[in-house]
Amino acid sequence: MLPEHRRKRIGERMLQRLFEVAEVMGGQWLTLEVRVSNLPAQRLYEKYGFRRAGVRRRYYSDNNEDALIMWTEKIRDRAVQDRLAELRKALGE
């Protein structure tokens, strides 16, 4: 993301929408890969309940950086839904 667009919670809103779409489509979990060096993204994902589940060695071809594999709990679980509702409210949505 370009520097002028950072810290505007755009990524967080996109993540909220991803949970909504996944639920409508019948998804049970979400998973993603994130650069091991991208600590701000990792913190955001952890805030939304993603947990580290593994590493993909040399995943990124531009510099052979490893990727963390992250998964959520079941997105329909009450605890996940409650967390999403709280985070949505904090975003003012």
**CA atoms lying within 13 Å on the CB side of residue 8:** 8
- The pTM assigned to this predicted structure is 0.88
What angle do the packed helices 78-91 and 10-24 form, to 10 degrees? Answer: 140
> Is residue 48 annotated as a catalytic residue, yes or no?
no
Whole-angstrom distance, CA of residue 38 vs CA of residue 78: 29
Whole-angstrom distance, CA of residue 23 vs CA of residue 34: 22
> Is residue 73 annotated as a catalytic residue, yes or no?
no
**Cα 22 vs. chain centroid, distance in angstroms?**
12
CATH superfamily of 29-93: Gcn5-related N-acetyltransferase (GNAT) (3.40.630.30)
Among the listed residues 12, 23, 33, 73, the single catalytic one is 33
**Whether pLDDT at 1 is above 90:** no
Among the listed residues 4, 20, 23, 45, the single catalytic one is 45
For the chain, what are the domain ranges?
A: 29-93
pLDDT tens column, 39-72: 999 999 999 999 999 999 999 999 999 999 999 9
